[in-house]
Chain A
Amino acid sequence: EVQLVESGGDLVQPGESLRLSCAASGFTFSNYWMHWVRQAPGKGLVWVSRINGGGSTTTYADSVKGRFTISRDNAKNTLYLQMDSLRAEDTAVYYCARADATMFGNWGQGTLVTVSS
């Protein structure tokens, strides 16, 4: 069974950093593109970033480019999102999702990031 478990969400002040993790199990992690999607409270889904199976190719939404860094450790079956220079508008539940040919068949439960002074 595919499982994705996010962790690392917290309450931080504007300008601070946070690293999210997504532990994957039940599939060959290195074979899949992985994505981060976020959802602000009461709002819709917003794609954030993606990384290919080998970790060599990454893409970011314009809203996080230059501040967030996606990475993965295939030996640990773990996906990461390093978030720097956090802003109030980054407040959201962050989901990791596994992508296959038809996009996101598997999602984690999400981890809440709150940016507030």
Chain B
Amino acid sequence: DIVMTQSPDSLAVSLGERATINCKSSQSILYSSNNKNYLTWYQQKPGQPPKQLIYWASTRGSGVPDRFSGSGSGTDFTLTISSLQVEDVAVYYCQQYYSAPPGFGQGTKVEIK
């Protein structure tokens, strides 16, 4: 099974500042035939189900603000919130869908400093 590891477990960022979350997979999740990274990012607010933010490692979902961006390839990935807003307080998860089981990272809690 592919193991997903996020860092840090939590971070506190001032409003308007940048938040960066890292996600590392135990093996490459880049599919060579289509050059796509099979990685997605979710945002989960308290009491709500997760919401998909980013897929193919860097494609924003419909309606997702452009302050959210994803990058990386192979085994190392990053979710960046360029200017943290109050409504971005949440737990963020990465997930690989390269192979079954489609495992999640342990989550990163983002708070306001």
Q: Mark A41-68, 1 if CB is under 8 A from B, else 0.
A: 0001111001000000001010000000
- For chain B, residues 70 to 113, give those with C-beta under 8 angstroms from any C-beta of chain A: 91, 93, 95, 97, 100-107
Q: Secondary structure at chain B's binding surface: helix, strand, loop or mixed?
A: loop
A-B residue pair count with CB separations less than 8 angstroms: 52
Query: Closest Cβ of chain B: how far from A93's Cβ, in Å?
Result: 9
Q: Across the interface, do B93 and A103 meet the contact criterion of CB distance under 8 Å?
A: no
Q: Across the interface, do B93 and A107 meet the contact criterion of CB distance under 8 Å?
A: no
Q: Across the interface, do B55 and A109 meet the contact criterion of CB distance under 8 Å?
A: no
Report Cα–Cα, A103/B4, bound state, in Å.
16
Q: Across the interface, do B102 and A47 meet the contact criterion of CB distance under 8 Å?
A: yes
Q: Across the interface, do B101 and A102 meet the contact criterion of CB distance under 8 Å?
A: no
Interface size on A, residues (CB 8 A): 17
Q: Across the interface, do A45 and B61 meet the contact criterion of CB distance under 8 Å?
A: no
Enumerate chain B residues within 8 angstroms of A95, measured Cβ to Cβ.
49-50
Report Cα–Cα, A46/B102, bound state, in Å.
9
Enumerate chain B residues within 8 angstroms of A107, measured Cβ to Cβ.
49-51
Q: Is residue B7 within 8 Å, beta carbon to beta carbon, of the partner chain?
A: no
Q: Is residue B68 within 8 Å, beta carbon to beta carbon, of the partner chain?
A: no
Other-chain contact of A104, B40, B48, B59 (Cβ < 8 Å): B40
Q: Across the interface, do A45 and B55 meet the contact criterion of CB distance under 8 Å?
A: no
Q: Which residue of A lies closest to B59 (CB)?
A: A102
Enumerate chain B residues within 8 angstroms of A50, measured Cβ to Cβ.
100, 102
Q: Which residue of A lies closest to B96 (CB)?
A: A103
Q: Which residue of A lies closest to B48 (CB)?
A: A109
Q: Which residues of A contact B (CB under 8 A)?
A: 35, 44-47, 50, 59, 61, 95, 102-105, 107-110
Q: Which residues of B contact A (CB under 8 A)?
A: 40, 42, 44, 48-52, 55-56, 59, 61, 91, 93, 95, 97, 100-107
